Amino acid sequence: MRTGLRAVIPTTVFAATVLAAGLSACGEPEGPETPVPAKTQKLGSADADRFVEQISSEMKKHAPVDNAAYWAAATYITDDTQLLASKATERSLGWLSEKLEAAKAYNDVEMSAQTGRSIKLLKLLTSMPAPSDAGKREELAKIAAKMEANYGAGKWCHEGATGNQECLSLQQIEKIIDDPEASPQARADAWAGWHETARPIRKDYQRFVELVNEGAREQGFADAGELWRSGYDMSPTEFEAQTERLWSQVEPLYDQLHCYVRAELHEQYPDEVPADGLIPSHLLGNMWAQQWSNIYPEVQPYPGVGDLDVSSALQKRRNEAYKKRLGEFNGQPTPEDLAEIGHQADADSSVAMTKIAEDFYTSLGMPELPESFWKKSLLTQPRDRDVVCHASAWDVDMEGDVRIKMCIEPDEEQLYTIHHELGHIYYYLAYNDLPPLFQTGAHDGFHEAIGDTITLSLTPQHMKTIGLIDQVSEDEHAVINSQMKLALDKIVFLPWGKLVDQWRWKVFSGEIAPEDYNRGWWELRERYQGVAPPMARGEQDFDPGAKYHIPGNTPYTRYFLAFILQFQFQRALCEASDFDGPLYACDIYGNKEVGKKFEEMLSLGASQPWQDALEKLTGTREMDASAIIEYFEPLMNYLKEQNEGRECGWET
């Protein structure tokens, strides 16, 4: 996967564990606290308005302080910064508990629609509901900080090729997993090495579940999973039915793709990949087998048709930046000098790639990124410290201090991730004038879909226009190649995007007991993805914790919804642009009228139910995956032809 992409979180990496859908956490107010009305006090609409206004004031006042702590914890991983982040979370949870208690006094008060929606969103604000007991809140905050730090500092230490001990970070391990040239055993070893880093937090996660469930029950929910499913302007039961309906629309396409890929890999790895059954996850070009685009060269339908190697062009530009920096150096560089020159070239490349993404948004009439974005963002892996490289977008003060954090590499996957992250940034900027409780997506899937919608316009023709490929073939074989490459990203992600929270919801409800965490995880992965681990796994392992969003406590169904919505958004934007052609060829770059229509939806934030926002852009009030089926129609026809006579599907 683009690790940062879904990576990709509406506000902060850490604050998202505190407040759902990108709202910033707040510490204890320095001024007057929001008063809890006396039980005998008769309240009216004006009181409710004042309550919401005070909430807004406190959120805006304290967001920059707490988010500074979270930023430091993610970009300078030390015991000190983890302590600061933990204390900020503890204060935030205490603040939120007070406000939720105060909000109960307004349950039966008549009030304006805006105030009523504000109080409803307050009650659904947190993805980490904390118990009212102060000691338990402190414990929860410490566990959250510890799990996040464990992920960010995780290393696989083993005997390297030279016989010396070497310790590899996730980014370095992923290069082994992602490399089709690496042997199956090397990839299996790397897979096991990273997944072992999650073992230390298994007991922490079990206690975390106990604490957030207690907090959720205090708010009137059955468990934390029910709270998460309540944030979609419909009942939790209705929401589950919606996700099942959407999955049923796209499952046939995934099944055909799985069948084709398994057959292709079986030819290359007959001893590792069966002709039928589950595909070993470590051979799918991604640590979590959540996107398979890295194995595109191995399963390419028509080898050599159409130049889709964007990564080589980006790497060439990075090398040119290195040569330029080296040429500017005075004297004979030492090894340390060369390392620093390389780091500077990486920084130059990262900025240049981010500028490519910014240019797409400004071509739609959106503003240039503020100067502070370029000064404060972390775009390159520092040489001197550990950071959480998982990409994320931040709105630090809810007033325009926007930035991203990711360790950019010069490859196509990262270029897509940057476009995705800037989708968050431009959403923040579009709704920054709204009250804080409305400063989030119409629902959390909207936030993740914005940047991904933009990436659908990164067609081969677009890549040629911006100079990243030399030519575009109009041959129908080139179309199939292009669609296969994108499907290995977009279609493959869908079952993964659904199952991560399926696991958590079952954990929160107790359907998956602590002694079955790993078994329950792999049962879902087999059922939805049709993949298996590279070696036997047991309950001493905690494989879910090897994915950022589990220790980071970031709800994941948002990404599943985003992968549906982005095609629905793209179809609506292409229709608005009067594009005449197949949906897969549409590029909205440079169309300011379309950009205006897009931005009008973004500016609504969460001020209206998501159905209203969706209708404003698409003309319909229902999420619908039919645009995906339309987009990939040529590929689906090809897959059916190729799979004729094969035994598709798998048994769990």
Strand, helix or coil for residue 166: strand
Strand, helix or coil for residue 271: coil
Tokens of 366: 């959106």
Q: Per this entry, what is the length of the chain?
A: 652
Residue 447 appears among annotated catalytic residues: no
Separation CA 144–CA 135 (nearest Å)? 14
Separation CA 344–CA 340 (nearest Å)? 6
Separation CA 613–CA 473 (nearest Å)? 38
CB 241 within 8 A of CB 229: no
DSSP output for 295-321 = GHHHH-SSTTSS---HHHHHHHHHHHH
CB 432 within 8 A of CB 439: yes
Question: Which one of the listed residues 390, 419, 443, 447 is annotated catalytic?
Answer: 390
Closest residue by Cα to residue 609 from 432, 440, 442 = 442
Question: Which one of the listed residues 358, 448, 526, 599 is annotated catalytic?
Answer: 448
Question: Which one of the listed residues 282, 424, 443, 447 is annotated catalytic?
Answer: 424
Residue 390 appears among annotated catalytic residues: yes
The residue type of 291 is: Q
Gyration radius of the chain over CA positions = 24
Question: Which one of the listed residues 559, 584, 589, 631 is annotated catalytic?
Answer: 559
Give the containing element (helix H, strand E) for 61.
helix 45-75
Separation CA 324–CA 3 (nearest Å)? 30
CB 513 within 8 A of CB 210: no
CB 555 within 8 A of CB 20: yes
Question: Which one of the listed residues 16, 391, 442, 613 is annotated catalytic?
Answer: 391
Question: Which one of the listed residues 549, 556, 576, 625 is annotated catalytic?
Answer: 549
CB 424 within 8 A of CB 449: no
Residue 448 appears among annotated catalytic residues: yes
Which residues pair with residue 395 across a beta bridge?
402
Closest residue by Cα to residue 172 from 185, 186, 156 = 156
- The position carrying tokens 């419909």 is 234
Q: How far is CA 615 from CA 418, 593, 611, 618, 620, in A?
A: 27, 18, 6, 5, 5
Tokens of 458: 């990164």
Closest residue by Cα to residue 188 from 270, 257, 289, 277 = 289
Residue 409 appears among annotated catalytic residues: no
Half-sphere exposure of 376 (CA within 13 A, CB side): 17
CB 111 within 8 A of CB 45: yes
Question: Which one of the listed residues 282, 420, 443, 447 is annotated catalytic?
Answer: 420
Q: How far is CA 199 from CA 204, 209, 496, 546, in A?
A: 10, 16, 21, 9
Query: Which residues belong to the active site?
Result: 390-391, 420-421, 424, 448, 549, 559
